[in-house]
Chain A
Amino acid sequence: AQSVSQHNHHVILSEAASLELGCNYSYGGTVNLFWYVQYPGQHLQLLLKYFSGDPLVKGIKGFEAEFIKSKFSFNLRKPSVQWSDTAEYFCAVNAKGGGNKLTFGTGTQLKVEL
């Protein structure tokens, strides 16, 4: 069965700092990878996804993530965070050929201070 680990549970940054949130998955086969974001008081929404091709994927609001197959990782990055990036971030994995069932990590709460 697939599983996802997010090692950073709470991250506090100042505006303009760089961000990297870790995500590791456990699954022996081919996967699709996702980052979802939940802003305060809002529903979960897709930030970016990786299906195939270029392992560096770009999403909305300047976020990007790099799939490193050898490390089973899909870390989320942003060069310069803004106060409005304060949210909870969830990494998720889906086994290809396994339907659309997503397994989520426990989430990382990011707080960006002015």
Chain B
Amino acid sequence: GAGVSQSPSNKVTEKGKDVELRCDPISGHTALYWYRQSLGQGLEFLIYFQGNSAPDKSGLPSDRFSAERTGGSVSTLTIQRTQQEDSAVYLCASSSTGTGATGELFFGEGSRLTVL
């Protein structure tokens, strides 16, 4: 596709349920990021995938959060046993790397998660 695609755009779930959020990056982009945007908190880095390297998971807030990237393309962010404080907009971004890379991130529209 032309841009970063995320699904679902909105998800309402009950406390304690598991959720999966999907990100389809721009074709050919080797780097993929997940950020969380909460009201008044800005963008909080969660995890970063770069090619075949081990992901940088340093931003994941707890072991209830995990992410994978299959085949170097689509990524899924999974939140287990959701809590109300997990309510936020989850943003995915991708970027190209290597010679001539601009360092610019291209963001998706986000997945708004509401935990009741």
Mark A residues whose CB is within 8 Å of B. 6, 9, 32, 34, 36, 43-46, 49, 51, 90, 94, 99-107
List A contacts of B101 (CB < 8 A): 100
Q: Given A100-B95, A107-B42 in contact, is the A49-B104 Cβ separation under 8 Å?
A: yes
Which residues of A are found within 8 Å of B4, using beta-carbon distances? 43
Size of the chain B interface, CB-CB below 8 angstroms: 26
Task: Name the prevailing secondary structure of the A interface residues.
Answer: loop
| Interchain CB contact under 8 A, A49 and B33 | no
Cβ A101 vs Cβ B56 within 8 A: yes
- Give the distance in Å from the alpha carbon of A106 to the alpha carbon of B45 in the complex: 12
A100, B108: Cβ atoms under 8 Å? no
Indicate if B107 sits at the interface (CB-CB under 8 A).
Answer: yes
Interface contact A103-B97, CB-CB below 8 Å: no
